Amino acid sequence: MTRATTVRAVLAAAVLLVSVYITLTMSPALGLDLRGGTRMVLQAKDSATAVADRESTDRTLEVLRQRIDSLGVAEPTLTRSGEDRIIVELPDVQDPRKAAEVLGRTAQLTFHAVQGPGSPEAKGDKDRLSLPDERGRHLALGPAQLSGAGVKDATAVFDAQQGAGWTVDLAFHKDAARDWTALTGKAACHPAQDDRRRVAIVLDQQVISSPQVDPSVGCDVGIPSGSTRITGSFSADEARELALLVQGGALPVPVEIVEQRTVGPTLGAAAIDASAAAALIGATATALFITFVYRLFGALAAVALAAYGVISYAALVALGVTLTLPGLAGFVLAIGMAVDANVLVFERAREECADRPSRSLRSALAAGFRNARSAVADSNVTTLIAAGLLFLLGSGPVKGFGVTLAIGVLASMFSALVIARALTETAARSRFVSDYRGVNGIARPGRVRTWLTRRDPRLFASPRRWLMVSIAVVAFAVLGILVRGVGLGVEFTGGRLVEYSTSRPVDVETARTAIAAAGFGDAEVTTAGAGDLSVRTGELDNDEEHALRAALAAEGGETAKVRDELIGPSLGDELRRNALIALAVAVSVQLAYLAVRFRWTFAVASVGALVHDIVVLVGAFAWLGRTVDGIFLAALLTVIGYSVNDSVVVFDRVRELWARNRRLPLATVADRAVLQTVPRTVNTGMGALFILVALAVLGGDSLADFALALLIGVCVGTYSSVLTAVPLALVLERSSKAPPPVRTSKRRTAPAPRGGTLDNGARV
């Protein structure tokens, strides 16, 4: 065993041991869409006295934290997002009405002098505030003399001695106590039973109590104790809620709920089980496939694939990444894509053995790793770019998918270039493995390569023909977008989407009639799989949602909320705008990267194929009537990375062969490059397809659209990287005056001391 192989083996063993330890001793942080609960996004708003900036939003967050702690929610999470948004995650909270009420109320508690009787007409008058008191009679109120910020403590108390029932006792800070004394002293100057002897306590523009100042209080003397009692015929719950709001403090700025998502725990558990089953079945199918194709070396790659799963999972846990449903799907998907580097290496090693049958197995394998290095690096960088864009421009669970995908890419490179290499290099030293070509799996050309060698097709004799086919496919996709329209999800349009599970089956028409009778005639009702009902409406607050659920319960018996998504119109516009920005940035970044790594013609051709894939995928969803939402955006950006990945592998081979055969026509070079990379494309695509089919079949409704989008994207991306990108590059090269590339990678492709090289790339 060489020193380099020993170092790789020791490093692989160390990383695996640490990963196994982390896997056995630590648990992953599950997102709310997997463990169940409610997630809210609050938007801070400017008020008459404060601006919703970073500082005021941070103060608001702390006030909200106190309120949530008082609610008794286990392990709540509050974080600021950007300058003026707060993300609140409440595990195990299935009915967000109570939480939303407490969080959303601004608790602007103010104390006013009563100036006399008011009138409803003056209610909106800025100069004269008129509000109804507890009995509904309007009072004219003076400007606020004291705010809730001056309240030191608030306690709900049951007064059994004086028969006042539940009350709220307030204690004021020192400065506020003086203001309270002055306010009650002025009120005491008016005769008993006069409205002007009252003090109005107003919470969020509603008079909750307007008591008379006790006759024992003298004029201009006031109540000196710095405390008071709010009475108002409160129930126990009302008194406790008021005390909670006041004690938590007035929010520095008002907040508005712009997004709200609720997921039932059963849905999350089902998603975990489905994803685990999909991962097991898909990974097993992938392992069996690469073992069948590459024999012993394929089996060793399958062992490295299992190690990849442990390492990437341990990395997710160790880094504290919150595992969301899209992130879990990304983890499963990365298993299928993790074999890509191994396939690239094995195919290059097969080429070495085919070109020089006398070459030793160790030399061919080393050349395979050396020659595949460029394609592996470029293809993984493009996927990392897509993952970075998902994290930077995505929202909510989509960010988790980006993180998971990035970790998966890095772990797969370690698995292929360290673990798999250590295993295969050790096996290659065995005389038995080296001598028996049918055992090692790379000393003989594969079936696909043999068939292509025998047929030797000329694919690009007429590249415009393939471009016409691609244009026709794009035109059909655009027609679907124009005729059927793109069904944007609630995330992009705003509104509310709720899924319900009923104890008795309810057909869509019956549910639609019941909901319309309850006053929700514009609601769209569809089935959501497994007999569940999906209801989509425009603006719908929590009380209205409760009424809608009650209408369904009248027809279907016990009705449970499975999923609940509320997106404000402003946030929907922002998410839609960000989605377009994400696509534009993705295309631009990929173009810039490819232009640096390759010729501008290759870069433009790759991006042209990428745009082809985007349009076709969106058009396919339009024809199928599927919803385009944030999860679809995650799939779309993943397809972008996959498509460019394939194009990079093809153009990397075109560049290599063209540099060594500068006098050959580019079309001939492209034919050879494509035929040499087709086995890799087929074998890698099969690994991804196994996983995606398992996700589509077992993932249920929550993952069906995601898996379907990736299935379509992988198939279309595989086609376009060969039959769109390459023909477009050939057409562009006709007008390019740049000379053929220079063989800059000579040292990597030169014959190794132990013999063997490619003979101009003519054999496949």
Report the SS3 class of residue 559: strand
* Phi, psi dihedral angles at 31 (to 5 degrees): -75, 170
- Please report the pLDDT score of residue 428 as a whole number: 85
Q: Could you read off the pLDDT of 592-611 as tens digits, one per residue? A: 887 887 888 998 998 899 89
Q: Which of 154-168, 304-318, 525-539 has the highest mean pLDDT?
A: 304-318
Reported as a single tens digit per residue, the pLDDT across 14-53 is 999 999 999 899 888 777 777 777 888 888 888 766 788 8
The answer to whether residues 616 and 474 touch, using CB atoms and an 8 Å cutoff, is yes
Average pLDDT value for residue range 726-739: 88
Q: What is the mean pLDDT of the chain?
A: 80
pLDDT the model gives residue 52: 84
Cβ-based neighbours of 752, under 8 Å, separated by 6 or more? 363, 366, 367
Instruction: Taking residues 434-451, report their average pLDDT.
Output: 73
Is residue 518 classed as helix, strand or coil in its secondary structure? Answer: coil
Residues 467-488, mean pLDDT to the nearest whole number: 93
Q: Is the pLDDT score of 761 beyond 50?
A: no
Query: Which tens digits make up the pLDDT trace of 642-691?
Result: 787 788 888 888 988 898 888 888 888 898 888 888 887 787 778 778 87
Beta-carbon contacts of 636 under 8 Å, excluding residues fewer than 6 positions away, are 583, 614, 617, 618, 709, 713
If one compares 477 and 519, the residue with the highest pLDDT of the two is 477
Residue 427 has which token pair? 């096996």
Of all residues in the chain, the percent with pLDDT exceeding 90 is: 9
Least confident among 459-468, 470-479, 532-541, 568-577: 568-577
Q: What angle do CA 649, 693, 289 make, to 5 degrees?
A: 60
Q: How many residues does the chain have?
A: 764
The H or E element containing residue 262 is strand 255-263
Mean pLDDT value of segment 507-522: 86
Stretch 69-98: mean pLDDT: 75
Q: How far is CA 172 from CA 176, 179, 223, 679, 764, in A?
A: 6, 10, 12, 78, 86
Per residue in 515-560, pLDDT tens? 888 888 888 888 766 668 888 888 777 778 888 888 888 888 888 8
In this structure, of 52-61, 99-108, 279-288, 663-672, the range with the lowest mean pLDDT score is: 99-108
pLDDT for res 764: 27
